[in-house]
Each structure stands twice: as structure tokens, then as C-alpha cells.
Amino acid sequence: MSFGFGEILLVVLVVLIVFGAGKLPAVMGDLAKGVKNFKKGLNEEDETKPAEKQKAE
């Protein structure tokens, strides 16, 4: 399922209406921080798993 230009444009317009042009940079910044924290959490989880496996053996 792919999104066409019309659907993407509609989503962008709805976001602009809901958040307004002034708040949009703050919202995007918060979203980026959330994604970074999520990726960091995944990486930390991957690093701790091998240590847990060694303790179990």
C-alpha cells in the first residue's frame, strides 16, 4: 500500500490546521527526540542481552 501525492498533501494540511505553523517546529523537535530515545533504548537492550546470556551459562 503506497500513499499518493494527494493523501500526503491532505495529511500535511490537517497537521498544519491542528498544530498551526508556529507550533509545528516544536512538535517535530519533540517527535525527533522521541525517535532518538527509542533507538537508544533498542541499542541499549541489544547490548545487555549478550551479558545476560553469559551469566545464564
The pLDDT tens digits for 1-57 are: 788 999 999 998 998 888 888 888 888 899 999 999 999 988 887 777 665 556 655
User: What pLDDT score was predicted for residue 57?
Assistant: 54
Locate the domains of the chain by residue range: 24-49
Burial class (CB in 10 A: 0-12, 13-18, 19+), 19: middle
User: What pLDDT score was predicted for residue 51?
Assistant: 57
Angle at the Cα of 9 from the Cα atoms of 37 and 20, rounded to 5 degrees = 65
User: What pLDDT score was predicted for residue 45?
Assistant: 77
The model's pTM is 0.52
Long-range contacts of 45-53 (CB under 8 A, 24+ apart): none
Chain CA centroid to CA 49, Å: 23
